[in-house]
């Protein structure tokens, strides 16, 4: 029966039982899940929630220069309020806050750091497309309050990561270092139930996700890869590919975990001040860990995402995630571009115009 499947709490107890040093981790993840349930209810109401509370034009701008919608601000507050009081976290970092959030003085500080994007893809709210929340848990093993540098840990030091997706159903997908597992919210009983244990991404794919409106700004290796995919069966890949683009990282990665594929938000020249679009700490790193725990690969295009040493809490980075062989191919194309082996040899003696220039005749 469906109700014989483990709840999130039972799953965490069983999977963290052998790790006494992480005994509080399950409690923190239950707090995160409670925040997800609250956000799911708010998102489901949409604009109904703001009648008489906030008009759509009361927008602010966050640290990234992006417009914050009322739901961005509200969902950020929901996560903070659910996770600050339990004595489990020492501090938090959010996409919506300029600086790390210190735990109030009347609350006990814990041993973990929580970094999160409270509402990924919020620009899709107005068109009723799936959005989500992303989070990552890091250790903080000192008694001192954490400063910004304490959050600058490479992705392989994450002890848990996950996302929630608010769609036709609400799902929580997470890893505690032993695979990637999906839980579906049963609204009747208010519990997350394990419905997708041990998700695995196929090593190959015939589906890719990228914003092709930026094609003119891409680097040659990305143009090469996408061009080959678009050539389909008649090109060197000898099979047809489908392209997808939702403009919500959570929705893109969820599709990849469910049926394979590759997601790319690569480096481009559109804004030279931004080497990438997505944030390393609370978007790229947790998603890369989830993908790799499911047998996929996370990369900057030039190397493993999880090995990148963060330099600032809101650092941006290029992102390539998904099926292992496809991501490796994209990395190879970057190497071949940088060492020049992707360019065909051209002899000046046998050029189209050769040595006999028409104007000399």
Tokens of 354: 């050769």
First to last CA, the chain: 87
Is pLDDT of 95 > 70?
Answer: yes
The tens digit of pLDDT for each residue in 195-253 reads 999 999 988 889 999 999 999 999 999 999 999 999 999 999 999 999 999 989 999 99
The answer on 139 and 11 residing in a single domain is yes
Provide the CATH number for the domain around residue 52.
3.30.540.10
pLDDT given for residue 55 in this prediction: 44
Whether residue 360 is predicted with pLDDT greater than 50 in this model: the reply is no
* Residues 95 and 242 placed together within one structural domain of the fold: no
Please tell me the predicted confidence (pLDDT) of residue 272: 82
Instruction: Provide the domain count of the chain.
Output: 2
Q: Do 192 and 223 sit in the same domain of this protein?
A: no
Provide the β-strand partners of residue 117: 134
Task: Give the residue numbers of the binding site for substrate.
Answer: 120-123, 211
Q: What is the pLDDT of residue 199?
A: 97
Domain with residue 243: its CATH number is: 3.40.190.80
Assess if residue 361 is contained within a domain.
Answer: no
User: Does residue 287 form part of some domain?
Assistant: yes
Domain that holds residue 231: 207-339
Q: Please tell me the least confidently modeled range out of 5-19, 31-45, 281-295, 340-354.
A: 340-354
Residue that terminates a domain, selected from 172, 196, 220: 196
Residue 38 lies in a domain: yes
Query: Residues annotated as binding site?
Result: 95, 117, 119-123, 211, 283
Binding site listing for Mg(2+): 95, 117, 119-120, 283
Average pLDDT in the 334-343 region?
89
Both 186 and 233 in a single domain?
Answer: no
Q: Confirm whether 86 is domain-assigned.
A: yes
The edge-to-edge listing of strands for the beta sheet with 170-175 is 101-102, 89-94, 112-120, 131-139, 160-166, 170-175, 181-186, 191-196
CA–CA dist 94, 102 (Å, integer)? 12
Does the structure show a pLDDT above 60 at 56? no
User: What is the pLDDT of the chain when averaged over all its residues?
Assistant: 89
User: H or E segment at 96?
Assistant: none
Mean pLDDT value of segment 131-149:
94
Integer CA distances (angstroms), 201 to 11, 21, 320, in order: 22, 30, 14
Among residues 60, 61, 116, the alpha carbon closest in space to that of 84 is found at 116
């Amino acid at each position: 029966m469906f109700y014989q499947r483990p709840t999130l709490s039972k799953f965490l107890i069983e999977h963290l039982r052998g790790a006494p040093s992480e005994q509080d981790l399950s409690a923190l993840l239950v707090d995160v899940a409670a925040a997800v349930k609250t956000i799911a209810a708010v998102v489901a109401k949409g604009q109904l929630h703001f009648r008489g509370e906030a008009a759509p034009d009361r927008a602010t701008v966050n640290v990234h220069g992006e417009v914050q919608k009322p739901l961005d601000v509200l969902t950020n507050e929901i996560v903070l309020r659910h996770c600050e009081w339990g004595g489990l976290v020492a501090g938090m970092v959010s996409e919506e806050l300029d600086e790390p959030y210190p735990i109030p003085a009347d609350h006990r500080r814990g041993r973990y750091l929580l970094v999160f994007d409270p509402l990924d893809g919020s620009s899709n709210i107005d068109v009723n497309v799936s959005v989500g929340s992303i989070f990552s848990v890091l250790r903080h093993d000192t008694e001192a309050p954490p400063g910004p540098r304490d959050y600058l840990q490479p992705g392989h030091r994450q002890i848990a990561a996950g996302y929630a997706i608010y769609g036709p159903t609400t799902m929580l997908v997470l890893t505690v270092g032993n695979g990637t597992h999906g839980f579906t919210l049963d609204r009747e009983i208010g519990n997350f139930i394990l419905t997708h244990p041990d998700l695995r991404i196929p090593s190959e794919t015939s589906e890719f996700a990228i914003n092709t409106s930026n094609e003119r700004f891409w680097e040659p290796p990305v143009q090469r890869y996408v061009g080959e995919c678009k050539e389909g069966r008649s090109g060197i890949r000898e099979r047809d590919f489908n392209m997808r683009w939702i403009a919500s990282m959570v929705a893109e990665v969820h599709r990849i975990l469910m049926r394979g594929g590759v997601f790319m938000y690569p480096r481009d020249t559109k804004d030279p001040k931004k080497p990438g679009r997505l944030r390393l700490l609370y978007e790229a790193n947790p998603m890369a860990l989830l993908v790799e725990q499911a047998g996929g690969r996370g990369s900057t295009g030039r190397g493993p995402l999880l090995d990148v040493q963060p330099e600032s809490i809101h650092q941006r980075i290029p992102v390539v995630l998904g099926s292992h062989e496809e991501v490796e191919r994209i990395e190879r194309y970057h190497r071949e571009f940088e060492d020049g082996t992707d360019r065909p040899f051209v002899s000046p003696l046998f050029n189209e115009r050769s040595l006999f220039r028409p104007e000399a005749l």
